[in-house]
Structure formats: C-alpha cells, structure tokens
C-alpha cells in the first residue's frame, strides 16, 4: 500500500452524508456533488498543476446551482453530455457538460432522489429514491417511458445492462431486482442478498454490471462482493478480502478486469477479478462513498462522506495490464489499435490526472512522466477510417443545420425565394412573451418560455365547454400545434442529436389512462401538423406525410411531391400544400394542393393553389361547412369550389374591407358567408396573447368590378349566395347518393333560393331604373320560384316596360313547358267491391287540363285529391310526395289510397267511371250533368290552382 492519499475539500459537510463523483468520458473533467450542498462542481482536470509545464493559471471549478437542496446523485451520459442531477428537493434536472448550462427539469418525485443511471446509448435515464418506484425517462423528449414498481424500500442503486436488456436495482433492505426493459416487468428478484442499511441514510447499497454485461456485482453479507449471472441471476463467485466491514461502494474499471471497492472500514481495495484477489489498497480518514475510474489512464477518483475528493494515481500496479487496455471509447477509436491512454483519441489533447494534493505539494522534480505509447503508422485502414470520420462529421453538421428558420420565412432556391413551411394560427417567438402555437375558432394553445423550458396551456373560447385542460411543462421546445374538439397535437423542431424533432398528441378525454403519446424522428424534422376526426398528421423535412390514429398507431406514410408549405384538417379531410417546383423566373411561387379523405384513403382534390402576384400563402384552413380556403399576403381569400371542374373563387379582399391603411388582417376561420379575423394595427401583423385578441366578423366581399348599376353590394350578395347554394346542392346530391336523409339540407336550400331570388329581384329593379333590359332578362332566367317570376313581372309592369313584361311572361311560359314532364303510369287501385280503371297517362290528361308544373328541378309535389260520387262510384285519392315547403296543399278527407303521380305535375284531372256511361262535373264549371242514368256525380279537386292553367270542359 502506498502513502496515504490526501483529499481536498470540494463540498463542506459537518456530518457524514452521501457524496458522488464521476469522470467525463474524455478524462479531462470531473463532476462532484454532496447531499449537504446545493451545488454541483465541474472540475477541469486538463490544466497542468502548478509547478509543471504550462502552469500559472489555477482553473476554478464550474459551479452549478440548479437545485434548492442538497444534491444526492449525479450521472453522465455516454458522451459526457448531458449531466443529470438528483436532489433532496425531489427533482431531477439536466444540464450541459462541461459548460453547465441548464437544459430542463426532467421529473419530480414525492421524496428525495437516491440514484441515477444512463443506459449505454444515452436514450434512457433511470431515476429512483425514497419513493417506491423507478422512473425510466426518455432523454430524447424527456417523457416518462415507464414506472417500475416492486421494491419495498428506498431504491439506492441502479445499473443498466450494457446490452440494454435489463436494468438492475437494489434497495436499502438489500433486495435486488432484474427488470426487463422491453416489458418493464421484473424477471428475477433476489431478496436480502445485500446488507440492510435502512437505518443509515448516508450508506447506500450500490450495484453495477461489468462492462461486458455478463455479470452483476452486488455487495455481500460477509464484507465481500458477490457476482451474479446475467441471465439466470445465479451466484457465480465472490470477492472476499481484507474488508473488515460491509462493502458500500464499488466501481468497475473501463475494461472490466478490475474492481474498486470501498467499505465501511474506510478502506478502498483494488481487485483483479480474474484472479479473485485484491492487488492494491488505500486507507482514508473518512469512509469513501464515491468511486470513478478515469476512462483514459490509470487513475481512480474518490470522494468521502465529508465532501472531500482526490485522484488516486496508478491504483493498478504499472507492472500489470492497464485498466483501460482494449477499451474502445467510440466508433472512431475502433480504427486505432494502440492508443495513448492519456490523450483524447483523435484530438491530441493531453489530460493530466495528478492528484489534488500533488498539485499543491509535489515539485516538478517529483513528477513521474506519463507513459507515451505511439500511435501506429497510418495505413490503408487509417485512411479509410479518416474518410469515415469526415463523413460522420459531415452528417453531424447536416443534422445540426436542419431548417432552423421561423414560420412563414422564405429560403433561396434556384436563385429566387421560396416560402418556408409554417403553421396556420401560430405566432413567432418573442423572448419573455407568451406566444400562440395555435389559434382557431375553437380555442388556442399558448406557450411561454421560462428558466430554460416552456409552459404550454390550452384554452377554449367557450369556457362552459367542459373541464379545463391541465397545463403542461414543455421540455421539448414545441413551436407548432393544432387543436380540435378531441385533442391537440404539438411538435418541436430538430435541435441536434440529443434533441430530436418530437410529435406529441394530448387527447382531452379518453376512457383509457395514459392515452397521451409521442413520436420521435431521427434526422427528420416536423414541418407542419394538423388533426381531424380520429387521426393526426405531420409532414417532415424528408417530404414524408405521416398519418397516425388518435391512439398513436402509424397508419400511413406518403411521399409528397415537394417541400411542404402547410397542412389543414377537418373531420375526414386532410389538405396538404407543397411546392410543385422551383419559383418562376419572375419570383412567383408554384404551389400544389392535395386533399385526402383519410377515412376512405382517397384523394378528392389535386390542383394548383393560386396566389396573388408577388405574394405568399399566409393561411390555409377549412370553413365550418368543410370547404378548403386559402388566404395570401395580399389579402385575397379564396374558396375551392367544384364549379367549372374545380376552381378557386375569390370571396374576400382586404382592400375592399379595410377602413384604414394601417389595418392588417390575421385570419382565424370562416363559415359559409363570414370571415373571422383579428384586426391588427401596423406595424403589428399578428396579435399578442395578452390582452386576449378581439375577433372581428366580416361579410365576404368578392373583388367585383365597379358596376354601371351602382349596386355593388347586391352583386356581391348575389355571387356569395349563388356559391353557397351550389355547395348545398352538391351536398344534397352526395347525401342522396349515399341514401342519407336530406330534409334539413332541402329546407336550407329552399331558404337560400328565396334569399337569392330576393336579391335578384332587387337587381332587376336596378336594371329597370338603369335601362339595362338585357341584363334584367338574364337575371329573370335565374329566378327559382314561380312566385319570384310573378314578382318580376309586377316590377316591370310598375316600371311601364311592356316589352320586358312580355319577355318575362314568355320566360314563365317557357319554364312551364320545360318543367312539365310525363308522369309515371299509376297502377290499378282495387276496392272491396270492384276494380276501377287505372288513371290514364299524360296524353289522356292533357286535353282536359294543362297545368303549370313545379319549376324547381328534382322536387316532388304532394297532391291530395278527393272525389265525391254516388255509392256506385269508387272513391279514389292520389297523393304525390312533396319535399319542399313552397306549395301550400289542402288536406283531403277520408283518405283511402295514396299514390305517387309524377315528379313535376301540380294538377291532376279526375276520372270517375260509374256503372253507366256518365260524365264528371269539372270543378269551376256549371251545366255538366249525366247524359245517361239517374245518378248525378260530382268531383271535388282540392289543389292549388295556377292562374295560368287552362281548364277545358269535357
């Protein structure tokens, strides 16, 4: 045993407490912590000590003050970043290493933290303490992957299997559990195989896998260390030496050949595990509670229960194999066979590892040179490896430079500027201010950055909608969101290898617990998100359209034709806007839009998306009735319509609605006829979160030309109503094809027809006053109802325009003839006594009566006919169904039969045949009597009488 190693105070403690020490993977920095100190210290071990070459500047440690109470555990990721710390304040935090910049809060417990551990790849962080559960936290998005429960006491030690199959844990009662990471279930439970330290909080049972993952080291009950098999958990052997009391801490050398153990007897022993014997030992003034082998070199860092630490140089005799021999630090080091173990491979940075007492007590003459093995000459393998390293660095640079521009930005491509992807309804980030991630007619999602992380809230405009959605701490840096009645989806950008782009969905109500889910994208970045009825969608920087179910199932991955601009969703419809090509030489963008039906996996629309000259797309969304709409930076709102085979119709112009030049319109949503927006005063182009934005409701105003009628408002109303009626008729047609009830839509269409006719009549009156007779005639042909045509005739009669009156009358007669169609033959109606003759087809009826047909195509009128005759005469009633409320029909009495007559016939003549040869009396005519027989017959017809109908006497 060498001379006594003197330790230097790092943390001050008056009583024995738990302290921790850990080496960085480059061997140039060391982190220490103490349960009595709220600070974590990062020591720079690469600077030469005073008295040696390059000395003169003493480097002070980096002090991290992120916790409010003492730090009980620290752990480093596999690449020395990040540094995780757990505290008595129940929190686990992350910071950068060695800089120490705060990165975020990971999780909170209800009791103090006792142990932390990273897996080999650094993707999982395990945290445990006085709580009864172990939390597995994804370091990519900082979400809790699993909570493992099985221990009956405080969990004091954690260790991941290097092969990433198991997590081993130990509690203060000495129970060890093997957890299977794939299922989260315990596969082996070894009860009371380690000492019971539940009464002393400063003594923690530890546990550690050998670097090859073949065995697990556990402190034994006989002042020894016991090795257990990886798969069977059977006892393999133990290391029994000169420890006089229980082993409380140990650490494997980087190559797994040696094990350093610390006991309650204040001794630290170095073991050759293959020989199963101790080869070196060191006695300390206080119990050593923390050990850490230097990753590159023959040195061991120790820290005692009073917060003092030091470096034990050459704990393995130099005559024996180095504790780091054969270790590959990373992929690039596999290209080297014999490396200088005291240099950072591939960097040439010498890291001194002399003990702290040496730095103040030894002179330059006492310094023992560190061995310097030479790197082998470069050969073909080295040259090939250098290319691999260069390619790796190139990939890293590409990943770090993945699209960091803000929403709505433009980027140069092909010599001109192309619009970058944006999220409709979001606002830019402003330091210290809350911003909108999403704002629509339902509510909003807001975010506020604070102390390195963000606070996300969801609010609904209708406060009585239901229970308030809990706020969320955002550890990912979400920059976009989408919101509907079922939930919200959020996404963060790519920020480096350790901060991948993340997609998260939060349902507002679910029958299952833990229904929230998230997805991470390696090397991809989410550019835009949206959601609909039972689905969530995102487009990434790889031009992949990813579609998920509400529960997180990955349903479809589609390739879009170009870089995405934005997304929009509504029920089963998903709209995607992409760049169809590079910009034109004039600088104009070429955008393409596709609309998919997610439910049926079909594409319903594929077209170019028009933009005003020198503008870019500012907003895309669906109206409340499901019409896709776009709004550009020049203030033109367009609605897609099936008219003319699918066209974009401009329905709103900011120039028409703007009251002053300093007004900017920030679109929120729209319904069939109105636009909802927030009016901002220049230079602001978007609203702030506080005070709450005030919605302004504007009527659609098409960019119509100034008319010579001076009736711009009427012409605008005519165009908007005509568009709305066209959409309703299309819905009726689609629903009828599916066999659905269209009664409500029929009523809505009729109301809109009346409204449109009223507008047309006003335009006809304006044409009459302006002597625009041809235009008035064209408008008359657009009238829907017979009553409206009569009203038009009344207008022209009052205007004393006989020529126009004649034209309108001709239109009315023409409409009657066009709409009059041959009714279907009506089958024979049988009575109890005898069979009556079937009603004759139209050619038999027309000589008797010519009627004005219904003028609305596709409707059926209800005709109720009552015929009175002698007892010998059959009573017949014919009924034709009516789907429009425009005809006021008279109810008949004593209905015996109902029949559908025809689709457009409004009057039906009555044929009554008695036993004798008799003639019927036609309503409204006198002098009709029977020519044979003594029975007089009378027929009564209760139907609306058209004044233009000509009734002929038979």
**732-766, pLDDT tens digit by residue?**
888 888 888 888 888 888 888 888 898 999 999 98
Residue 183 confidence class, pLDDT cut points 50, 70, 90: confident
Structure confidence by residue, pLDDT tens digits, 148-172? 999 988 999 999 999 889 999 999 9
Mean pLDDT to the nearest integer, 550-575: 93
CB 480 within 8 A of CB 422: no
**Per-residue pLDDT at 823:** 54
Q: How many whole angstroms from its chain centre is CA 254? A: 43
Residue 402 confidence class, pLDDT cut points 50, 70, 90: very low
Residue 409 confidence class, pLDDT cut points 50, 70, 90: low
pLDDT above 70 covers a percentage of the chain that reads: 74
Beta bridge partner(s), residue 696: 677
- For the chain, helix (H) and strand (E) counts, in that order, are 9, 59
Tell me how crowded residue 391 is: count the other CB atoms within 10 A of its CB: 10
User: How far apart are the C-alpha atoms of 548 and 663, rounded to whole Å?
Assistant: 40
Structure confidence by residue, pLDDT tens digits, 115-153? 999 998 888 999 999 887 899 998 877 888 889 999 988
Q: How many whole angstroms from its chain centre is CA 11? A: 46
Q: Is the pLDDT of residue 251 over 80?
A: yes
Q: Is the pLDDT of residue 873 over 50?
A: no
Judged by average pLDDT, the poorest of 67-71, 807-811, 945-949 is: 945-949
Give the end-to-end CA distance of the chain in Å, rounded to a whole number. Answer: 137
List of residues 6+ apart from 557 with CB closer than 8 A? 544, 545, 546, 547
Structure confidence by residue, pLDDT tens digits, 472-503? 888 788 899 999 989 999 999 887 766 788 99
Q: Is the pLDDT of residue 526 over 80?
A: yes
Q: Is the pLDDT of residue 887 over 50?
A: no
**Per-residue pLDDT at 559:** 93
Q: Is the pLDDT of residue 448 over 90?
A: no
DSSP string, 743-774: HHHHHHHHHHHHHHHHHHHHHHHHHHHTT-HH
Q: How many whole angstroms from its chain centre is CA 908? A: 62
Domains 17-46+60-313 and 434-660 share a fold: yes
**Per-residue pLDDT at 208:** 94
Q: Across all residues in the chain, what is the average pLDDT?
A: 76
Q: Is the pLDDT of residue 824 over 60?
A: no
Q: Is the pLDDT of residue 418 over 70?
A: yes
Quote the pTM value. Answer: 0.47
Which pair of tokens denotes residue 275?
């020989």
CB 43 within 8 A of CB 64: no
Measuring CA to CA, which residue among 465, 510, 458 is closest to residue 483?
458
Could you tell me the CA-to-CA distances from 911 to 451, 830, 867, 914, 920 in Å, in that order? 91, 15, 9, 10, 7
Which pair of tokens denotes residue 261?
């153990």
Question: Higher pLDDT residue, 261 or 410?
Answer: 261
Q: Is the pLDDT of residue 459 over 70?
A: yes
Q: Is the pLDDT of residue 645 over 70?
A: yes
HEC letters along 502-568 = EEEEEECCCCCCCCCEEEEECCCCEEEEEEECCEEEEEECCCEEEEEECCCCEEEEEECCCCEEEEE
Residue 901 confidence class, pLDDT cut points 50, 70, 90: very low
CB 932 within 8 A of CB 918: yes
**Per-residue pLDDT at 537:** 95
User: How far apart are the C-alpha atoms of 62 and 102, rounded to whole Å?
Assistant: 13
List of residues 6+ apart from 309 with CB closer than 8 A? 7, 8, 10, 19, 21, 30, 32, 290, 301, 302, 303, 356
CATH code, residues 17-46+60-313: 2.130.10.10
Question: Higher pLDDT residue, 816 or 355?
Answer: 816
Mean pLDDT to the nearest integer, 380-388: 39
**Per-residue pLDDT at 200:** 80
**Per-residue pLDDT at 451:** 63
Residue 404 confidence class, pLDDT cut points 50, 70, 90: very low
CB 482 within 8 A of CB 530: yes
Report the C-alpha dihedral over residues 155, 161, 166, 167, rounded to 10 degrees: 10
CB 870 within 8 A of CB 807: no
Q: Is the pLDDT of residue 379 over 80?
A: no
Structure confidence by residue, pLDDT tens digits, 80-114? 778 999 999 999 999 988 888 888 888 889 899 99
Is residue 15 within a helix (H) or strand (E), and if so which, with residue range? Answer: none
Q: Compute the chain's Rg from CA coordinates.
A: 43
Q: Is the pLDDT of residue 671 over 60?
A: yes
Q: Is the pLDDT of residue 48 over 70?
A: no
Measuring CA to CA, which residue among 514, 517, 563, 519 is closest to residue 540?
563
**Per-residue pLDDT at 848:** 32
Q: Is the pLDDT of residue 305 over 90?
A: yes
Q: What are the domain boundaries of the chain?
A: 17-46+60-313, 434-660, 711-817
Q: How many whole angstroms from its chain centre is CA 858? A: 44
Question: Higher pLDDT residue, 897 or 722?
Answer: 722
Q: Which CATH class is domain 434-660?
A: mainly beta
């Amino acid at each position: 045993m060498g001379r006594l190693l003197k330790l230097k105070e790092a943390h001050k403690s008056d009583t024995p407490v738990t302290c921790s020490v850990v080496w960085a993977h480059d061997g140039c920095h060391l982190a220490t912590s103490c349960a009595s100190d709220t600070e974590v210290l990062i020591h720079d071990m690469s600077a030469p000590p005073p008295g040696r070459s390059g000395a003169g500047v003493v480097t002070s440690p980096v002090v991290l003050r992120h916790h409010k109470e003492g730090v009980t555990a620290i752990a480093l990721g596999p690449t020395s970043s990040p540094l995780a710390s757990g505290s008595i304040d129940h929190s686990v935090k992350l910071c950068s290493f060695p800089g120490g910049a705060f990165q975020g809060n990971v999780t909170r417990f209800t009791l103090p933290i006792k142990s932390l551990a990273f897996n080999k790849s650094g993707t999982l962080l395990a945290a445990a303490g006085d709580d009864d559960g172990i939390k597995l936290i994804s370091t990519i998005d900082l979400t809790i992957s699993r909570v493992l429960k099985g221990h009956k006491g405080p969990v004091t030690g954690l260790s991941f299997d290097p092969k990433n199959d198991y997590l081993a844990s130990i509690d203060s009662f000495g129970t060890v559990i093997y957890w299977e990471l794939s299922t989260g279930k315990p596969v082996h439970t070894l009860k009371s195989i380690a000492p019971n330290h539940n009464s002393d909080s400063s003594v923690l049972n530890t546990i550690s896998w050998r670097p090859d993952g073949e065995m697990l080291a556990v402190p034994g009950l006989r002042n020894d260390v016991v090795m257990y098999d990886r798969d069977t958990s059977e006892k393999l052997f133990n290391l029994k030496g000169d420890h006089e009391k229980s082993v409380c801490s140990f650490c494997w050398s980087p190559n797994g050949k040696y094990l350093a153990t610390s006991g309650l007897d204040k001794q630290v022993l170095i073991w050759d595990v293959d020989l199963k014997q101790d080869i070196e030992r060191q006695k300390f003034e206080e119990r050593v509670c923390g050990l850490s082998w230097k990753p590159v070199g023959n040195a061991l860092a120790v820290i005692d229960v009073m917060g003092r630490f030091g470096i034990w140089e050459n704990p393995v005799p130099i005559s024996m194999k180095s504790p780091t021999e054969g270790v590959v630090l990373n992929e690039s080091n596999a290209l080297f066979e014999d490396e200088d173990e005291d240099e950072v491979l591939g960097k040439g940075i010498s890291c001194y590892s002399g003990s702290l007492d040496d730095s103040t007590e030894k002179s330059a003459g006492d310094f023992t040179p560190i061995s310097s093995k030479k790197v082998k000459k470069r050969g073909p393998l080295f040259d090939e490896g250098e290319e691999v390293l260069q390619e790796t660095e190139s990939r890293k640079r590409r990943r770090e430079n993945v699209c960091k521009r803000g929403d709505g930005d433009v980027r140069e491509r092909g010599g001109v500027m192309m619009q970058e992807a944006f999220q409709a309804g979001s606002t830019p980030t402003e330091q210290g201010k809350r911003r909108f991630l999403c704002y629509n007619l339902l509510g909003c999602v807001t975010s506020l950055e604070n102390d390195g992380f963000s606070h996300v809230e969801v609010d609904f405009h209708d406060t009585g909608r239901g229970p308030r959605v809990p706020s969320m701490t955002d550890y990912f840096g979400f920059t976009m969101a989408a919101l509907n009645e079922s939930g919200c989806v959020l996404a963060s950008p790519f920020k480096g290898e350790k901060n991948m782009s993340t997609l998260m969905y939060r349902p507002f109500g679910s029958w299952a617990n833990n229904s929230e889910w998230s997805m991470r994208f390696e090397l991809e970045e989410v550019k835009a998100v949206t959601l609909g009825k039972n689905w969530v969608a995102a487009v990434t920087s790889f031009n992949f359209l990813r579609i998920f179910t509400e529960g997180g199932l990955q349903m479809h991955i589609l390739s879009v034709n170009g870089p995405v601009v934005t997304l929009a969703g509504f029920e089963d419809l998903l709209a995607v806007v992409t760049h169809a090509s590079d910009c034109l030489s004039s600088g104009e963008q070429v955008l393409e839009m596709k609309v998919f039906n997610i439910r049926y996996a079909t594409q319903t629309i594929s077209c170019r998306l028009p933009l005003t000259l020198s503008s870019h797309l500012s907003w895309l969304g669906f109206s409340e009735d499901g019409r896709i709409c776009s709004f550009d930076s020049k203030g033109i709102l367009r609605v897609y319509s099936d008219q003319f085979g699918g066209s974009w119709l401009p329905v709103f112009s900011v120039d028409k609605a703007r009251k002053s030049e300093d007004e900017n319109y920030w679109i929120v949503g729209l319904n069939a006829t109105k636009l909802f927006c927030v009016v901002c005063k220049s230079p602001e182009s978007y609203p702030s979160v506080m005070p709450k934005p005030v919605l302004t409701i504007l009527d659609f105003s098409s960019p119509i030309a100034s008319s010579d009628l001076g009736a711009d408002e009427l012409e605008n109303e005519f165009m908007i109503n005509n568009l709305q009626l066209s959409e309703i008729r299309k819905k009726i047609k689609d629903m009828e094809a599916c066999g659905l009830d269209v009664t409500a839509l029929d009523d809505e269409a009729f109301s809109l027809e009346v409204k449109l006719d009223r507008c047309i009549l006003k335009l006809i009156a304006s044409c009459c006053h302006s002597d625009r007779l041809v235009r008035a005639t064209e408008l008359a042909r657009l009238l829907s109802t017979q009553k409206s045509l009569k009203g038009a005739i009344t207008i022209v009669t009052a205007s004393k325009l006989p020529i126009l009156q004649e034209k309108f009358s001709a239109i009315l007669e023409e409409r009657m003839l066009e709409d009059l169609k041959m009714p279907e033959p009506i089958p024979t109606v049988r009575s109890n006594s005898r069979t009556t003759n079937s009603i004759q087809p139209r050619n038999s009826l027309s000589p008797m009566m010519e009627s004005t047909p219904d003028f609305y195509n596709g409707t059926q009128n209800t005709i109720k006919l009552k015929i009175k005759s002698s007892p010998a005469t059959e009573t017949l009633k014919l009924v034709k169904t009516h789907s429009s409320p425009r005809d006021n029909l008279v109810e008949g009495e004593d209905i015996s039969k109902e029949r559908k007559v025809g689709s457009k016939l409004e009057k039906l003549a009555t044929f009554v045949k008695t036993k004798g040869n008799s003639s019927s009396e036609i309503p409204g005519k006198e002098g009709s009597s029977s020519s044979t027989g003594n029975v007089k017959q009378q027929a009564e017809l209760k139907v609306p009488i058209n004044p233009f109908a000509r009734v002929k006497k038979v």
